């Protein structure tokens, strides 16, 4: 009979990892944990996930390698936590503003603003989520998938409502998918070109992108002319 038991040290280490994971996945983790996650995202964005190692993250955070391994089993876990906490925060950020209106056009503007506002403040997290999604292990990818799909469905539902109102008929799945992914593509690429001094803040960008989507380029040009920009 196998009489192996877990040592207090190994049990404590696992308990530490469970609690740290729960806190990092929360919309508002502690400042220290937020700092670790941000440094990990910086390293992954700069070096690429496959080239980066736990030693690089240890150096960036100022934590000892042993201290980092006490809380995190691997860089794979950190990549998971960056993705998980991002989608948790994005979903949470919609709840209050969505409660103020039922109109799909207003909710679309809220969605675009909240998405841009989060990612402009977390550009490296955005880059990592956009480029390293395929680097998640299957176990971690499955855990992120639910929130990722929920977030996609929020926007797809708004797009479907707007198309239904415009055409007076139920839109097909293909057009809803293509339009939804097109808007995500527009928003998710901003980390590659956005310059705050030239391109404005999240509110300005959201007005421009939502205007293009809802009214087309001609209407947007007239609105921007009226605002002298």
Q: What is the pTM of this model?
A: 0.80
pLDDT for 9 equals: 45
Rounded-to-integer distance, Cα 66 and Cα 8, Å: 17
- Asked if the structure places residue 3 within a domain, the reply is no
Minimum mean pLDDT range among 54-58, 142-146, 224-228: 224-228
- Asked if the structure places residue 118 within a domain, the reply is yes
What CATH number has the domain bearing residue 84?
1.10.357.10
| Tally of domains within the chain | 1
Q: What is the mean pLDDT of the chain?
A: 85
- Asked if the structure places residue 152 within a domain, the reply is yes
Burial-class residue 54 by CB neighbours within 10 Å (0-12, 13-18, 19+).
Answer: middle
- Asked if the structure places residue 148 within a domain, the reply is yes
Cα Rg for the chain, rounded, in angstroms? Answer: 21
Quick: pLDDT tens for 129-155. Answer: 988 999 999 999 999 999 999 999 999
Quick: pLDDT tens for 63-93. Answer: 999 989 988 999 999 999 999 999 999 999 9
Rounded-to-integer distance, Cα 71 and Cα 67, Å: 7
pLDDT for 218 equals: 62
Looking at residues 168-189, what average pLDDT do you find?
A: 92
DSSP letters, 54-114, are HHHHHHHHT--HHHHHHH-S-HHHHHHHHHHHHHHHHHHHHHHHHTT---HHHHHHHHHHH
- Asked if the structure places residue 1 within a domain, the reply is no
Q: Which of 135, 133, 166 is nearest to 50 (CA)?
A: 135
- Asked if the structure places residue 2 within a domain, the reply is no
pLDDT band at 192 (very low <50, low <70, confident <90, very high): confident
Looking at residues 42-46, what average pLDDT do you find?
A: 96
Helical segments of the chain, H only: 8-25, 31-47, 54-61, 65-71, 75-98, 104-121, 123-131, 138-167, 173-188, 196-199, 202-226
- Asked if the structure places residue 56 within a domain, the reply is yes
| Three-state SS at 221 | helix
- Asked if the structure places residue 51 within a domain, the reply is yes
Rounded-to-integer distance, Cα 62 and Cα 155, Å: 39
- Which domain does 150 fall in, by range? 8-226
Within 10 angstroms of residue 225's Cβ, the number of other Cβ atoms is 9
């Amino acid at each position: 009979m196998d009489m192996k038991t877990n040592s207090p040290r190994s049990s404590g280490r696992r308990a530490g990892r469970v609690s740290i994971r729960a806190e990092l996945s929360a919309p508002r983790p502690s400042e220290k944990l937020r700092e670790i996650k941000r440094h990990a995202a910086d390293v992954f964005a700069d070096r690429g996930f496959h080239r980066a190692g736990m030693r690089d993250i240890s150096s960036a955070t100022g934590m000892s390698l042993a201290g980092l391994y006490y809380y995190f089993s691997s860089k794979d876990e950190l990549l998971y936590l960056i993705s998980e906490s991002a989608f948790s925060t994005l979903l949470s950020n919609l709840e209050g503003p969505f409660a103020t209106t039922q109109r799909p056009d207003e909710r679309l503007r809220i969605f675009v603003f909240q998405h841009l506002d989060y990612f402009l403040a977390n550009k490296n997290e955005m880059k990592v989520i956009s480029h390293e999604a395929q680097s998640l292990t299957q176990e971690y990818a499955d855990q992120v998938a639910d929130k990722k799909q929920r977030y996609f469905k929020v926007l797809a539902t708004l797009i479907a409502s707007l198309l239904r109102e415009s055409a007076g008929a139920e839109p097909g799945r293909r057009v809803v998918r293509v339009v939804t992914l097109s808007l995500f593509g527009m928003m998710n690429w901003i980390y590659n070109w956005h310059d705050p001094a030239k391109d404005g803040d999240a509110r300005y960008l959201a007005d421009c992108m939502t205007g293009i989507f809802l009214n087309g380029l001609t209407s947007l040009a007239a609105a921007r002319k009226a605002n002298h920009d």
